[in-house]
A = this chain, B = another copy of it.
Amino acid sequence: MREDGLDVIIDKIGNIFGLTGQSTGKNPIMIGSHIDTPNNAGKYDGPYGVIAGLEVAEKLRNHPSQSRRPLMIAAFTNEEGVRFQPDMMGSLVYAGGLDVEMALNARDLDGAILRDELRRIGYSGDMTPGAITPHAFLELHIEQGPVLESDNIQIGAVEALQGISWQRITIGGKANHAGTTPTRLRYDAGLAAAHVITFLRRLVTEYSSTSVATVGQLAFKPNSINVVPSQASFTVDLRDPDEFRLCQLEQALDAYLGRLAAEHCVIVETERLARFKPVVFDRGLVEMIVDSARSLEYSVMKMTSGAGHDAQMIAHICPSAMIFVPSRNGISHDPAEYTAPGQLDSGLDVLFDVVLKIAK
Q: Describe A's contact surface by its main secondary structure.
A: loop
Cβ–Cβ < 8 Å partners of A333 in chain B = 175-178, 222, 224, 226-227
Q: Is A318 part of the binding interface, using a Cβ–Cβ cutoff of 8 Å?
A: no
Segment from A4-12, A194-202, A242-250, A345-353 that makes contact with B: A194-202
- Chain B residue with minimal CB distance to A309? B179
Query: For A305, what are the chain B residues with a Cβ–Cβ distance below 8 Å?
Result: 179-180
Which residue, A185, A215, A331, A333, has most C-beta atoms of chain B within 10 A? A333
Task: Please indicate the chain B residues that have their CB under 8 angstroms from the CB of A16 in the complex.
Answer: none
Which of B190, B235, B330 contacts A218 (CB under 8 A)?
Answer: B190
Within 8 A of B (CB), among A143-169: 143-146, 162, 164, 166
Contact A216 B201, CB 8 Å, known A144-B180, A223-B39: no
Asked if A310 CB lies within 8 Å of chain B CBs, one says: no
Query: How far in angstroms is the closest Cβ of chain B from A286?
Result: 19
Contact A223 B229 (CB under 8 A): no
B175 touches A334 (CB 8 A): yes
Beyond A177-B145, A334-B175, whether A273 also contacts B225 by CB under 8 A is: yes
The answer to the question of A118 belonging to the interface, with a C-beta cut-off of 8 Å to chain B, is: no
Q: How far is the CB of A160 from chain B (nearest CB, A)?
A: 13
Q: A194-B194, A198-B194, A218-B220 are in contact. Are A180 and B225 (CB under 8 A)?
A: no
Minimum CB distance partner of A223 in chain B: B217
Contact B237 A215 (CB under 8 A): no
- A235–B239 CB distance below 8 A: no
Closest to A209 in B: B182
User: Which residue on chain B has the smallest CB distance to residue A229?
Assistant: B216
Determine whether the beta carbon of B166 is less than 8 Å from that of A334. Answer: no
Instruction: Bin the interface of chain A by size.
Output: 35 or more
Question: Contact at A38–B226, with CB atoms within 8 Å?
Answer: yes
Report chain B residues within 8 Å CB of A197: 190-191, 194
On chain B, the residues within 8 Å of A174 by CB distance are 331, 334
Q: What distance in Å separates the Cβ of A79 from its nearest Cβ neighbour in chain B?
A: 10
Which chain B positions have C-beta within 8 A of A91?
none
Looking at the complex, which one of B40, B225, B308 makes contact with A166 (CB distance below 8 Å)? B225
Given A190-B197, A198-B195, A218-B218, also A332-B224 (CB < 8 A): no
Q: For the complex formed, measure the closest distance between the CB of A257 and the CB atoms of chain B, giving whole angstroms.
A: 15
- For residue A62, CB closer than 8 A to chain B, the reply is no
Q: Which of A26-34, A80-88, A122-130 participates in binding chain B?
A: A80-88
Partner of A162, one of B38, B179, B228: B179
The reply on A306 being an interface residue by CB < 8 A is: yes
Q: Which of B217, B222, B239 is A39 in contact with, Cβ under 8 Å?
A: B222
The answer to whether B220 and A217 have CB atoms under 8 Å apart is yes
Given contacts A194-B197, A226-B81, contact A239 B183 (CB under 8 A): no
A residues in contact (CB < 8 Å) with B: 38-41, 80-82, 85, 87, 143-146, 162, 164, 166, 174-183, 185, 188, 190-191, 193-195, 197-198, 201, 204-205, 209, 212, 214-220, 222-230, 235, 237, 239, 273, 305-308, 330-334
Which 4 A-B pairs give the minimum distances between C-beta atoms?
A145-B180, A180-B306, A194-B197, A178-B214
14 A-B contacts, Cβ less than 8 Å apart? A38-B224, A41-B224, A80-B226, A144-B177, A145-B181, A175-B334, A176-B330, A176-B333, A180-B330, A181-B306, A183-B205, A188-B214, A194-B198, A214-B227
